[in-house]
Amino acid sequence: MHVSTILKNKGAAIITTRPEESTGTVAQLLHVNRIGAVLVVDSDGEIAGILSERDIVRGLAVHGAGVLDRPVAEFMTRKVVTCQSTDTIASIMERMTQGRFRHLPVVDDGKLVGFISIGDVVKLRVEEYAQEVESLREYVSGGL
Ligand code: AMP
């Protein structure tokens, strides 16, 4: 199984924000869309960073409620790890575990084509296991 399988299921819609947007507005964006992170893009549409709920909590711990009026650029992670749609699910699980993050933008030939979360990966894995169990059941009952 590959990242492209996840994109086929969930589509390629990507919610983004700009570095100068306020962190409070992005907190709203996360809440309304029921997501845990948002990709930050610059005026050319290039990836500038990623801001997750963890970054907002960290900002809150340091600045208190004032974090909400500060720009996303102050709290986002700038060195963003990406994947490609041809990557295997096993390899991106490894990347997420090693990097201790739960989100990965998908970039093919320099173009942003999707954004996946650990939730998407777990959902696919659960479906895979259910299919395997079903196949084994059919195999066993076919032999009886
Ligand atoms: P998460 O577990 O995805 O909510 O993010 C935990 C931390 O990792 C936060 O500081 C994020 O900004 C950062 N982060 C999330 N995804 C990535 C990524 N793909 N590349 C680099 N950092 C990331």
Provide the token pair at 94: 């490894």
| 38-50 pLDDT, tens digit each | 999 999 999 999 9
Give the residue whose CA is nearest to atom 15 of ligand 1: 101
Where do the domains of the chain lie, and which CATH numbers do they carry?
3-143 (3.10.580.10)
Given this model, what pLDDT does residue 13 score?
Answer: 84
The atom of ligand 1 lying closest to the CA of 53 is: 4
| pLDDT tens, position by position, 98-111 | 999 999 999 999 99
| Residue range 56-95, pLDDT digits in tens | 999 999 999 999 999 999 999 999 999 999 999 999 999 9
SS3 95: helix
Percent of the chain whose predicted confidence (pLDDT) is above 90: 81
Does the C-beta of 104 come closer than 6 Å to ligand 1?
yes
How high is the mean pLDDT of the chain? 94
Q: Which atom of ligand 1 is nearest to the CA of 105?
A: 19
**Helices of type H across 11-64:** 23-33, 53-63
* Residues 92-120 as b or e (16 or more Cβ within 10 Å = b): beeebeeeebbbbbbbbeeebbbbbbbeb
11 has pLDDT over 90: no
User: How many percent of the chain have pLDDT more than 70?
Assistant: 99
- In angstroms, the CA 96 to CA 52 distance is 14
Which ligand 1 atom minimizes the distance to the CA of 118?
3
Task: Give the model's pLDDT for residue 12.
Answer: 74
